[in-house]
Amino acid sequence: MINRRNFLTTVALGTASAAVLAACGQSAPAQTGSASNPVTINYTWWGNDDRAERTRKAIALFESKNPDIKVKGNFSDFAGYWQKRATEAAGGGLPDVMQWDLSYLRDYGQRNQLLDLGTVKINTDAFEKSLLPSGQIKGKTYGIPTSTNAFAVYYDPAKVASLGIAEPDGNWTYAEFNKFLTEVGAKGNGALFGSTDYTGVWWMFNIWLRQNNIEAFTGDGKLGFTKDDMKKWWNLTKDLRGTPAIVSEERTTQLAPKSPFGSNVTATEVTWDNFMAGYLADSGAKELKLVPVPSDDPDNLGLFLKPSMLMVASAKTKYKDAAARFIDFMVNDPEVGQIFKTSRGVPASKTQRDGTTFEGTDKLVVDYEKSIEKYLKDAPEPPIVGFGTLETSFKRISSDLNFGKVTVDGAADAWFKEAEDLIKQNS
């Protein structure tokens, strides 16, 4: 019958070691793009279906105006996006042109993965001079901002009205904001919740720090705040967690990658103002409104305009000229502005902004950014190397907090341990 012990041993041991280790090998380089005429450049972005639709239109427009260049598009959601880029960078095959986030600009820029856009022809005459430095590191331009965004509280006026609650005016303290969320939760009857836990949003934490005149990171790449600051922050919603004021983490997980607000599960959400188009498309709501974030100091809202996204090119692209032309087109062309409206944020280039007609909800976003103008402070520099990882762990630990798996003190300890480890690792 069966007495091939040696055979078994070989098969078992061989499979065990080979399969485990093969998983950790480096993937083969996958440089794409053909040399034939017209040249093909790869472009990748993150976002939902709505953005994909708009981007495809913009690409088609670019191709019709530039018959010598073909653009191959590809997109994914935000979390998976950075894992893919890391894999590609390791294999030397980053796409030619990429939509980029401020959080990851240092990671790739300082490590020579991105093209210095100062060496190619991109017109930045129509940009606010104060905005361009956010795409620059040590005098080199790695990213061109497509647009600006600012933090805001979204709400759905129809839902708030149906609960018989007065619409907020955005002139509120954290206590007042919490009261509002609690009221929505109480009257929402299990069908509608106040919001997701806003203390789980890194940038809101950053804004709160600025409201208290604390910088998140020091100039030499260290943390500018203490563990106590972090505990204070996470304690803000201590009494709201586990109540209908905050949608449960179970629910949020189930809905992912869609947001609870986009799924009509919450009445408000605290996030960037350029999510308007995405939320409208996801939720099917007739109208969504924007008001400023809460602050305990009415004169200091801690708000700033951030490049909502940047356009970057791979340092290894074979088609620098084509890549530059595509970036120039995406950030400056008025027709691209017409396609995206405010879904990427308010266009950063004046040429594009003036060439775009903003109506309805898009006008709300533009008006919102105008309304907070007097509160705006300088945008933060590109955050420290590894910031993307810190932002991810901030979100993860906040989620553990809402699952009740960890106390506020434990959460702050856990995050600080990871942050200090990471800063040590990258110094």
Partner 1 sequence: MTQSPTLNRRSASSTPPLPRKSRQRGADARAGYTFLLPWLLGFIALTVGPMISSLYLSFTNYNLFDPPKWIGLDNYTTLFQDERFLQSVGVTVSYVVFGTPMKLAAALAIAMLLNSKRKGQGFYRSAFYAPSLIGASVSIAIVWKAMFGDSGPVDQGLSFFGINLGGWVGNPSMTMPMMILLTVWQFGAPMVIFLAGLKQIPADLYEAASMDGAGPVRKFFNITWPMLSPVIFFNLLMETIHAFQIFASAYIISNGEGGPAGSTLFYTLYLYLRGFSDFRMGYASAMAWLLVIVVGIITLIFFRTSKSWVHYSGDSK
Binding site for partner 1 (CB under 8 A): 1-3, 5-6, 8-10, 12-26, 77, 79-80, 82-83, 86-87, 89-90, 107-108, 111-113, 248-254, 256-257, 386, 388-389, 392, 396, 399-400, 403, 405, 414, 422, 425-426
Length of the chain: 427
SS (H, E, C) 129-183: CCCHHHHEECCEECCEEEEEECEEEEECHHHHHHCCCCCCCCCCCHHHHHHHHHH
| Minimum separation from the CB atom of position 111 to partner 1 (A) | 4
Compute the distance between CA of residue 348 and CA of residue 305 in angstroms, rounded to an integer.
10
Neighbouring CB atoms inside 10 A of 11's CB total: 11
Residue type at 253? T
> Nearer to partner 1 by C-beta: 7 or 68?
7
> Nearer to partner 1 by C-beta: 307 or 386?
386
Let me know: does 262 contact 278? Beta carbons within 8 Å: yes
Residue type at 200? G
> Nearer to partner 1 by C-beta: 224 or 257?
257
> Nearer to partner 1 by C-beta: 232 or 251?
251
| Minimum separation from the CB atom of position 256 to partner 1 (A) | 6
Compute the distance between CA of residue 379 and CA of residue 206 in angstroms, rounded to an integer.
11
**Number of separate helices (H) and strands (E) present in the chain:** 16, 11
Judging by beta carbons within 10 Å of its beta carbon (0-12, 13-18, 19+), is residue 403 exposed, middle or buried? middle
Non-local (6+) Cβ contacts of 368 within 8 A are: 150, 152, 273, 290
> Nearer to partner 1 by C-beta: 16 or 175?
16
SS3 for 250? helix
> Nearer to partner 1 by C-beta: 111 or 370?
111
Compute the distance between CA of residue 246 and CA of residue 402 in angstroms, rounded to an integer.
9
> Nearer to partner 1 by C-beta: 101 or 362?
101
Neighbouring CB atoms inside 10 A of 279's CB total: 22
Compute the distance between CA of residue 353 and CA of residue 168 in angstroms, rounded to an integer.
29
> Nearer to partner 1 by C-beta: 19 or 166?
19
